[in-house]
Amino acid sequence: MSCDFSGDEPADTPDRQPDGDSTQPDQTSKPTTLASARARETIPVRLAEDCLILAGPTAAGKSAISLPLAKRLNAEIVSVDSMAVYRGLDIGTAKPTAAERELVPHHVIDVVDANASFSVAAWLASVATAVEEIRRRGRRILFVGGTPLYLKALREGLADRPAGDPALRAALAERLEREGSAALHRELAKHDPAAAERIHPNDAKRIVRAIEVACSAPTQPNSSSQAAWGAEADPAAATPLLILDLPRQLLNERIATRVRKMFSEGLVDEVETAEATVGIGDTARQGAGYSEVLAMLAGEISRQEAIEQTIRRTRQLAKRQRTWFRSFHNAVWICS
């Protein structure tokens, strides 16, 4: 496969718009090590019968259920949310409030500044530390969130991927700046159609990484690695996975209500403050609402357009989340 991604053909397609029983179980019973036979190393998170996972698309009502559930289970909550790790980004990420965190301890929230990148591996390391600390306190662990990639990594471990190529990454970054993510997405589709189908054309970070993987291991592209990810692992059978869901129309209405509330409660001020202090990095600005508000502040779109685009992109996110969740085995679906 040719890996010359330095071409300068113009991009002609615009980008699309991309939540108590104090009896303790035997924590030593059949823990899951969470690594596939092909993983580079075992992920040090031990799932067992003292764990419960509560997942679902954005706005499905995870927070409203998780707090009383955690109290009943004598559990502490570990966030499974790729945006909740960023300090200062509270409104747009629908983080639990200070009062909610006082009611039930939450972990893996506010881990890095908004200008930092944060990988799945870094998240797993933070989770491993939190889980063992919770266990030392004799409490259960309730995982709550809607980031499917994090959930998959939690249950199955990380695939063995080639190391990044700095030179290639720099060339791709230059093309990304010049042509946009849609052009690189079309390039990826030529070499790994399955990966291109799975990755949204606006998800520049994952597009670049998929191209790096395709170039570093042309005989085993990114899609093959994804298919093999966790294929030989115990699917965390000892840990129940509950997935909340709603009828699509009701979920879409909830999303619209949530987005309008975020704007009315100060999302624009939050973005202005974060951008003026540490800045909002490429990873954090992928969260629905942040790139739209930044475009609004730059005078590129109106406030109403920012709201409408955020609603549309959040609905698209929920659709992708539900698609991911349907691929998880041994899950119990609950209408919230």
Same domain for 61 and 124, yes or no, is: yes
The proportion of the chain whose per-residue pLDDT surpasses 90, expressed as a percent, equals 54
pLDDT band at 24; cut points 50, 70, 90: very low
pTM recorded for the entire structure: 0.69
pLDDT of residue 331 exceeding 50 = yes
Of the listed ranges 15-29, 88-102, 191-205, the least confidently predicted one is 15-29
Same domain for 135 and 73, yes or no, is: yes
Same domain for 151 and 285, yes or no, is: no
pLDDT of residue 102 exceeding 90 = yes
Question: Is 33 a domain residue?
Answer: no
Question: Is 21 a domain residue?
Answer: no
How long, in residues, is the chain?
336
Extract the tokens encoding 64. 């409203």
The residue with greater pLDDT, 218 or 116, is 116
Of the listed ranges 18-27, 71-80, 152-161, 298-307, the least confidently predicted one is 18-27
Is residue 144 classed as helix, strand or coil in its secondary structure? Answer: strand
CATH at 106: 3.40.50.300
The DSSP 8-state label assigned to residue 335 in this structure reads E
Tens of pLDDT, residue by residue over 124-173, are: 999 999 999 999 999 999 999 999 999 989 988 876 555 566 778 778 88
CA-to-CA distance for 128 and 106, rounded, in angstroms?
14
CA-to-CA distance for 334 and 290, rounded, in angstroms?
30
Contacts of residue 199, Cβ cutoff 8 Å, sequence gap at least 6: 185, 188, 206, 207, 210
Same domain for 241 and 98, yes or no, is: yes
Same domain for 58 and 126, yes or no, is: yes
Same domain for 239 and 267, yes or no, is: no
pLDDT band at 224; cut points 50, 70, 90: very low
Contacts of 221-228 spanning 24+ positions with Cβ under 8 A: 221/191, 221/192, 221/194, 221/195, 222/192, 222/194, 222/195, 223/192, 223/193, 223/194, 223/195, 223/198, 225/159, 225/160, 225/161, 226/159, 226/194, 226/195, 226/198, 228/36, 228/38, 228/159
CATH at 217: 1.10.20.140
Q: How many domains does the chain have?
A: 3
Mean pLDDT of 52-68: 94
The domain of 200 spans 166-228
Per-residue confidence (pLDDT) for residue 17, from 0 to 100: 33
CA-to-CA distance for 48 and 46, rounded, in angstroms?
6
Residue pair 175/5 in contact (Cβ under 8 Å)? The answer is: yes
Question: Is 303 a domain residue?
Answer: yes
pLDDT of residue 272 exceeding 80 = yes
pLDDT band at 35; cut points 50, 70, 90: very low
Mean pLDDT of 215-239: 49
